[in-house]
Amino acid sequence: GQQLNQSPQSMFIQEGEDVSMNCTSSSIFNTWLWYKQDPGEGPVLLIALYKAGELTSNGRLTAQFGITRKDSFLNISASIPSDVGIYFCAGPSSNTGKLIFGQGTTLQVKP
Partner 1 sequence: DTGVSQDPRHKITKRGQNVTFRCDPISEHNRLYWYRQTLGQGPEFLTYFQNEAQLEKSRLLSDRFSAERPKGSFSTLEIQRTEQGDSAMYLCASSLMGDTEAFFGQGTRLTVV
**Residue 55 binds to partner 1 (criterion: CB under 8 A):** no
Number of CB atoms found within 10 A of residue 93's CB: 15
Binding residue for partner 1, selected from 24, 75, 77, 103, defined by CB under 8 A:
103
CB 88 within 8 A of CB 35: yes
CB 100 within 8 A of CB 90: yes
3-class secondary-structure state, position 60: coil
Binding residue for partner 1, selected from 41, 59, 82, 111, defined by CB under 8 A:
41
Q: Minimum distance from CB of 90 to partner 1 (Å)?
A: 7
**Residue 34 binds to partner 1 (criterion: CB under 8 A):** no
Binding residue for partner 1, selected from 28, 45, 67, 80, defined by CB under 8 A:
45
**Residue 88 binds to partner 1 (criterion: CB under 8 A):** yes
Q: How far is CA 76 from the centre of its chain?
A: 10
User: Checking phi first, is residue 59 left (phi over 0); if not, alpha (psi -120 to 50) or beta?
Assistant: left
**Residue 43 binds to partner 1 (criterion: CB under 8 A):** yes
Q: Minimum distance from CB of 66 to partner 1 (Å)?
A: 17
